[in-house]
Every structure is written in structure tokens, then in C-alpha cells.
Amino acid sequence: MKFGIQVNEGPFTHQASDSAYHFVKAAIEKGHEVMRVFFYYDGVNNANKLSAPQADDRNLVKLWGELASEHNVDLVVCIAAALRRGIVEENLADGFRISGLGQLTEVGIAADRLVVFGD
Amino acid sequence: MIHTVNKSPFERNSLDSCIRLSEKGSPILLLEDGVYAATSGTNVSDKVSDAAKDHPMYVMGPDLEARGIASDKIMDGITVVDYGGFVDLVVEHGAVNSWL
Amino acid sequence: MSEVEFDTAGVVKNFMYVNRKAPYGTIYALEVLEAVLISAAFEQNAAIVFVDDGVYQIKKDQDTTAINMKNFSPTYGIIEMEKEDAEEDEDMDMVWRIIVEKESMEARGLTPDDFKVEVEVLSSDELAKVMAEQEVVISG
């Protein structure tokens, strides 16, 4: 089955992006395809390569990037939400790309399921 | 359709709205702070056990463990699942309505 | 990263946008609105639903001058126009609905006259049925 995922929160205030990450990993392990993860609202902070969590904390920015390269998951950061929050090409982490909000509607149409994680 | 609730019932009305606006028979999954609704002996336990008569109810095990809630504190009739179980539920029940 | 495109031609799904949060205190209302508007370009069915504090989003007479934040409530008028355009255009199959839950509205002492757009007021039970028919649910 094909999944689309929407992530509405960043990695340092809410649990939403952790839940999304674990869901995506579990879906892939079960043989499903995750077509795209769309980062919206503060979710765009998942793509900030300048974020530096402490050594004993998980680094979700890196974990997302690894997932993208290992399993060909399309990680899309909403451009309008990103610009508001200062996420631009210069500080965009590996594995992510910046694009329009139409990418959310598109995956909603193309995927069998869209799952939203937020606050 | 499957419904998910990620808010504590003691702080927000997400679970109330979910119960009010979900059709009988559609499953409800409690995750993140939503898992507190699954514990027995609270002042929302009656409401949750009533809801469990109309809806198959599930709770995320990893979120319970993280919050120090032992499985013997979970109300009867609520099934504990992991992330793989969450995926299976979504596959089985169609569109996901996240009560954010 | 290169652009990835999925084939969506000819597919029309039932999208529902669930608004449960008041405007201004948090940004959620604004960004759901932006998502609704974009979906018009894809000619998808849309149920734009206001429940709980979300009903405050469409309150008349919003004036943000003194808090110096963007007043985005005029955008709901654009959604209403899109909906009417879709109804009038015989070549367009998409159906848009703007729905308020009666119980949420009444709990907040509001009536349809308080809203800046024309809405369908549905009871919880009626809305539950509409919700159950949706294929994609976007909540903010």
C-alpha cells in the first residue's frame, strides 16, 4: 500500500515528528511504500541542518535524511511555511527538497492513505 | 475510517470531539499524550469504557512505556499496539482522521 | 533533490479539512486555509469543516489592527467564491462544502448570522456521516 505522511510540528517541541518517523519506518518494514513525507507548519524545522541536538538526544533531521536515502522517500518541505521560518536551500538538510503546497494535495490524491501527525 | 487522538483528555477536548463525531464501529487509536485516556481509575474512565462499547479502542504501547504506565493499568477492552500495529490498523480501516 | 511527480490525472477524491482551533492564538487556522486553496487547482472535492473552537475562524468583524497580525479572515470569502464557481461551472465536477457543527456553534453562543460566509449547519450525527465518507483528512 502507498502512504503519504504530513508532519505539522518540529522535532523539539512536540512528539509529532517522532511518531511520524516511527510510523514511516514501520510501514517500510512491512513492505509498504511511503511516497512522500510533507513537512508543513513548524514541521519544516525537521529539515534545518543547522539544528544541533545534544549528543544524548536523537537527531531527527539526520534520521529523516538517512531514511530518505535508504528507502527513496520523498521528503518535501512546504516553501511558504519554510520561508516564514527561515528554512532555505542554504540550511536545508540532506534528503529534503523545498516545494509548493500542491505537493501535499498531490500525494493525498496519489497515495492510498494520508496520515497527519501534528499537535 | 480510523480516528487517532494524541491529547490528554484532562487537558483538551480532542477525545470528546472524536467520540461525538465518529461513527459507531470505527476504531479509535490513542497515542502520545492521548494514552492517558486508556488508564483505569480516572475521572474519564467511565466515558472511555462507554466509547469502547461502540468503538474498537487501541493504545500505543511505546507511548505507555515512555510515560511509565504499566500494562495492568490499562482498562479492559483496550488493545495495546506498536507502530507496526498502527500501520496495520491504517491499512485495514481506510482514511485516517487525526484529532489534532 | 529533483522534483518528484505523481500521476493524479482524472482522480477526484473527497478531501476534508478539519478546523478545530481558534485563529490568531496559533497559526494552524491560516495554514489549513492555504492548503484548501491549493487543492482547488487539482479540482478535488473538499469539505471544509469547522468544529470546536474552529468555528471562531469564520466569525464576522475580525480586526487585527491592534495586534498587528495578518487578518486572514477575508480568505474564507475566497473559499466561498471557489465553491460557488464550482457549483456554476457545468464542466467542473468538484463539489465544495463549508460545514459548521451545530453543537460547537451553539456551545459558543453563536448563530449562522455570526459567520462571514454562508455555511451548512449539521448536527454531530449528520457531520459524523459526512466525515465517514472522506478519503483524505487534513487537520491542522
Longest dimension (CA), chain A: 40
What confidence tens digit (pLDDT) does each residue in A59-108 have? 999 999 999 999 999 999 999 999 999 999 999 999 999 999 999 999 99
| pLDDT band per the 50, 70, 90 thresholds, residue C2 | low
Q: How many structural domains are present in chain B?
A: 1
Does residue C5 form part of some domain? no
Residue C117 has pLDDT above 80, yes or no: yes
Q: Is A4 a catalytic residue?
A: no
Q: What is the pLDDT of residue C91?
A: 84
Indicate yes or no: CB of C139 within 8 angstroms of CB of B13. no
What confidence tens digit (pLDDT) does each residue in A9-50 have? 999 999 999 999 999 999 999 999 999 999 999 999 999 999
A59: domain CATH number is: 3.40.1260.10
What confidence tens digit (pLDDT) does each residue in C38-79 have? 988 999 999 999 999 999 999 999 999 999 999 999 999 999
Residue C16 has pLDDT above 70, yes or no: yes
Does residue C80 form part of some domain? yes
C28: domain CATH number is: 3.40.1260.10
Helix or strand run (H / E) with residue C19: strand C14-19
Q: Which domain holds residue B62?
A: 2-99
Q: What is the pLDDT of residue C93?
A: 83
Q: Which domain holds residue A73?
A: 2-117
Residue C1 has pLDDT above 60, yes or no: no
What is the average pLDDT score of chain A? 97
Indicate yes or no: CB of B6 within 8 angstroms of CB of A16. yes
Q: How many structural domains are present in chain C?
A: 1
B70: domain CATH number is: 3.40.1260.10
Mean pLDDT, range C16-26, rounded to an integer: 96
Indicate yes or no: CB of C1 within 8 angstroms of CB of A104. no
Q: Which domain holds residue C32?
A: 14-139
| pLDDT band per the 50, 70, 90 thresholds, residue C104 | very high
Q: How far apart are CA B97 and CA B83, in angstroms?
A: 17
Chains that touch A (3 or more CB pairs under 8 A): B, C
Taking only the tens of pLDDT, chain B with its 100 residues reads: 999 999 999 999 999 999 999 999 999 999 999 999 999 999 999 999 999 999 999 999 999 999 999 989 999 999 999 999 999 999 999 999 999 9
CB-nearest partner of A116 from C27, C42, C139: C139
Which residues, at least 6 apart from B69, have a Cβ–Cβ distance to it below 8 Å?
A: B35, B36, B38, B39
Q: How many structural domains are present in chain A?
A: 1
Q: How far apart are CA C29 and CA C19, in angstroms?
A: 7
